[in-house]
């Protein structure tokens, strides 16, 4: 378990998906006459699992089968809206190449469904660089529970203390902290003061390099 690894959330961390999720939810909720505000999207959509989102916004009892059906419909709409616009956050491909060359394990740990994970990873041709890919179907407890980051670290044969996690949401940063990892906040969806304290903040991957990862891990394990 002496390996070192870097683990990425996906939405808002690998690609700027959140504006397109917002548009998909607007169209989806309008279809079902579900009320929403942008403030509610900030507090109850970004970084949250679909089980929570559907039950919060529909404001009526939903059984698991109905939640699954609604979530699949919304995510299919998202992929349709986003299909021709998938681009990585600036500097990500070069950063991933540098991490791989330096010998870091690389993983993705997302609350999104597997269909979205496969869709974005393959659209960006990132699969050959990845050593572990986890989606919502791979865990029983969702962020801010640390399960997905603990499981990702185990798959990468790395102690959580030897992992750096990139996250953009309150629940995601909390999950990474709860797992005992070093956390870099990606400021695509929130400002730094809207997130739990991170060891570093970036707007994109032009602002960080492999040497910074080593320094963060050294400081964390001092």
Residue 47: the pLDDT is 74
Q: Do residues 184 and 208 make contact, with C-beta atoms less than 8 angstroms apart?
A: yes
Preceding omega of 144 cis (within 30 degrees of 0): yes
**18-82: CATH homologous superfamily?**
Putative phosphatase; domain 2 (1.10.150.240)
Residue 108: the pLDDT is 98
The conformation of residue 89, written as its DSSP 8-state character, comes to P
Residue 98: the pLDDT is 98
190 vs 46, 100, 187, CA distance in Å? Answer: 10, 28, 5
Residue 11: the pLDDT is 94
Quick one: tokens of 67?
Answer: 């939640």
Name residue, tokens 């993705």.
108
The stretches of the chain forming alpha helices (DSSP H) are 18-31, 38-44, 50-58, 64-82, 92-102, 114-123, 147-155, 170-179, 210-220
Quick one: tokens of 93?
Answer: 């491909």
Integer Cα distance of 74 and 63 in angstroms: 17
Integer Cα distance of 77 and 79 in angstroms: 5
Residue 2: the pLDDT is 72
* Low-confidence stretches of the chain (pLDDT beneath 50): none
Integer Cα distance of 162 and 2 in angstroms: 8
User: pLDDT tens digits, residue range 40-87?
Assistant: 988 888 878 899 999 999 999 999 999 999 999 999 999 999 999 999
User: Could you count the other beta carbons within 10 Å of the beta carbon of residue 34?
Assistant: 15
| Residues 105/183/136/58 CA torsion (nearest 10 deg) | -160
**5-16+87-220: CATH homologous superfamily?**
HAD superfamily/HAD-like (3.40.50.1000)
Integer Cα distance of 205 and 207 in angstroms: 5
Quick one: tokens of 170?
Answer: 């309150």
1 vs 99, 133, 149, 222, CA distance in Å? Answer: 18, 18, 15, 18
Domain layout of the chain by residue ranges? 5-16+87-220, 18-82
């Amino acid at each position: 378990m002496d390996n070192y690894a870097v683990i990425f959330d996906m939405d808002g961390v690998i690609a700027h998906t959140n504006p397109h999720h917002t548009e998909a939810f607007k169209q989806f909720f309008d279809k079902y006459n579900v009320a929403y505000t942008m403030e509610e999207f900030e507090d109850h959509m970004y970084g949250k699992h679909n089980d929570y989102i559907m039950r919060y916004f529909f404001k009526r009892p939903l059984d698991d089968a109905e939640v699954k059906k609604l979530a699949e419909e919304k995510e299919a709409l998202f992929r349709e809206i986003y299909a021709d616009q998938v681009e990585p956050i600036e500097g990500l491909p070069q950063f991933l190449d540098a991490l791989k060359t330096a010998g870091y394990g690389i993983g993705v740990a997302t609350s999104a469904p597997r269909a979205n994970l496969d869709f974005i990873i393959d659209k960006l041709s990132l699969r050959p660089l990845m050593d572990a890919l986890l989606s919502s179907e791979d865990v029983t407890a969702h962020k801010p529970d640390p399960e997905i980051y603990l499981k990702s670290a185990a798959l990468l044969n790395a102690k959580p203390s030897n992992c750096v996690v990139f996250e953009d949401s309150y629940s995601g940063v909390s999950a990474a902290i709860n797992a005992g990892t070093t956390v870099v906040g990606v400021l695509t969806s929130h400002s730094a003061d809207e997130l739990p304290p991170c060891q570093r903040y970036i707007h994109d991957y032009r602002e960080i390099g492999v040497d910074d990862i080593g320094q963060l891990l050294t400081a964390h394990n001092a």
